[in-house]
Amino acid sequence: MANTTLDTLKTRIASGEARVGILGLGYVGLPLAVEFGAAGLSVVGFDVSEAKVARLNLGESYIQDVDGVRLKGLVDKGLIQATTDFTRIRDCDALIICVPTPLSKTKDPDLSMVVAATGRIAENMRAGQLVVLESTTYPGTTDELILPMLSEKGLKAGTDFFLAFSPERVDPGNPKFQTHNTPKVIGGMTPACGDAAKTLYSKAIEKIIVVSSPRAAEMVKLLENTFRSVNIGLVNEVALMCRRLDVNVWEVIDAAATKPFGFMAFYPGPGLGGHCIPIDPLYLSWKLKTLNYRARFIELASEINAGMPEYVVDRLAEALNDRERSLRGSKVHILGAAYKRDIEDVRESPAVDFIRILQSKGSIVTYTDSWVPTLEHEGIDLKSIEAGPAVDQADAVVIITDHSNVPYKDLVKRARLVLDARNATRGIEASNIVRL
């Protein structure tokens, strides 16, 4: 039996007449808007932030991975516009939810922004629309939470409207893989829903992988990031072991990585950062607790990774003590505040926890990060300063983020003590370097 609603939607997408609405214009939503706009589809971005909406409508990019010239060209052509008026949802053929899904203070999933976005859609939706959730969440969210909200008016998924989950796979600062060439996983509520979502994303993304259900697609994202979290937790624990065994963990990993099969190199560090890896596995752990199952690997990895900033502080205290200094009153200069190399993103950055612990112990903390000019977070209020003079004055320098534009060799020569938590000083031999 033909599905005329689906056929109409697919025809509008194929012809370029379809209008795409994106709810949430951050690290996920804005790059996605650009790709759909570049594919010739009209895009309306929805956000509660008037500042973001105003900047976007001027063609200004506030996301590192979104080229400002490219964005402005699409805005000037009328292919991308932004608004805080959610009644315009009814003018869209497809709606994609790209809002944050953080953890609460009790480490439980906070889906308040997903619920709010879905509520906006439910208030304004009409028959024939496609709704896709991209925000990372626990398996079951799409069918247990989103579907009932969108069905309140009596519309039926797969017949009157279409619903799918498609996990975002954004890797900030990745020079090789961006939105358009990162394979897209889609799980539709029904085969028709999957077909509608595949038709839409095929306009802007090179490769589409359709799985059997939203739950499968939700689990795909959690597996990807749990894999990384657990392996990073493992190698962080190996670093702790190597410290006790008086073995260089970096040498061990480099040697193990020469094996051409059966080994994938992961590297220790001062803690996990970014929106995904520290958070997503805990969504899965929380869901499984409701099913009377304990995700032991996830919880152990999270415990080890969350403890790394404290471990780095302890290593720093030992190194200072060897030089007859204490943390209290010492000037500690940090290189790097972003959660990983060569990006501006400080979400869940281990630098924040590291600074907070140092300040609580009475250290005088400064930092340098050309990507992060200011660091304001939960009581921390610092500005990036010039590295050279700060290193000269510091009792210790700690490398938290290994940005590629830092002259490590020169700074090591100037520093009294360098604690390298990233192996950024690889190949530099000096008595003042202490490695993780």
Compute the distance between CA of residue 143 and CA of residue 146 in angstroms, rounded to an integer: 6
What is the residue whose two structure tokens read 């969350």? 306
pLDDT of residue 224: 95
Higher-pLDDT residue of 103, 399: 399
Residue 106 has pLDDT above 90, yes or no: no
> In a 3-state reduction of DSSP, which class is residue 200?
helix
Beta bridge partner(s), residue 95: 21, 131
pLDDT of residue 377: 81
DSSP state of 394: -
Residue 1 has pLDDT above 70, yes or no: no
| % pLDDT > 70, the chain | 100
Query: Tokens standing for 417?
Result: 């003590």
pLDDT of residue 172: 87
Compute the distance between CA of residue 284 and CA of residue 138 in angstroms, rounded to an integer: 5
Chain segment 336-391, per-residue pLDDT in tens = 999 999 999 999 999 999 999 999 999 999 999 999 999 998 789 999 999 999 99
Backbone Cα Rg of the chain: 24
pLDDT of residue 250: 96
Alpha helices in 77-111 (DSSP H): none
DSSP state of 73: H
pLDDT of residue 72: 97
Residue 107 has pLDDT above 90, yes or no: no
With CA atoms as reference, report the closest residue to 41 among 6, 1, 81, 3.
81
With CA atoms as reference, report the closest residue to 162 among 101, 121, 202.
121
pLDDT of residue 3: 81
The pLDDT confidence band at residue 2, using thresholds 50, 70 and 90, is low
For the segment 62-83, the average pLDDT, to the nearest whole number, is 96
Average pLDDT, the chain: 95
> Phi and psi dihedrals of 229, rounded to 5?
-60, -45
The pLDDT confidence band at residue 142, using thresholds 50, 70 and 90, is very high
Domains in the chain: ranges and CATH:
4-212 (3.40.50.720), 233-435 (3.40.50.720)
Beta bridge partner(s), residue 103: 109
Compute the distance between CA of residue 344 and CA of residue 347 in angstroms, rounded to an integer: 9
For the segment 85-96, the average pLDDT, to the nearest whole number, is 98
401 contacts 309 by C-beta, under 8 angstroms? no
> Phi and psi dihedrals of 333, rounded to 5?
-105, 130
pLDDT of residue 436: 87
Chain segment 173-221, per-residue pLDDT in tens = 888 999 999 999 999 999 999 999 999 999 999 999 999 999 999 999 9
295 contacts 229 by C-beta, under 8 angstroms? no
Query: Tokens standing for 155?
Result: 């519309």
98: annotated active-site residue: no
pLDDT of residue 61: 96
For the segment 123-151, the average pLDDT, to the nearest whole number, is 97
pLDDT of residue 276: 83
Q: What is the largest distance, in Å, between two alpha-carbon atoms of the chain?
A: 82
> In a 3-state reduction of DSSP, which class is residue 82?
strand
| Residue from 92, 193, 242, 276 carrying the catalytic annotation | 276
11 contacts 3 by C-beta, under 8 angstroms? no
250 contacts 202 by C-beta, under 8 angstroms? no
| % pLDDT > 90, the chain | 92
Compute the distance between CA of residue 74 and CA of residue 1 in angstroms, rounded to an integer: 39
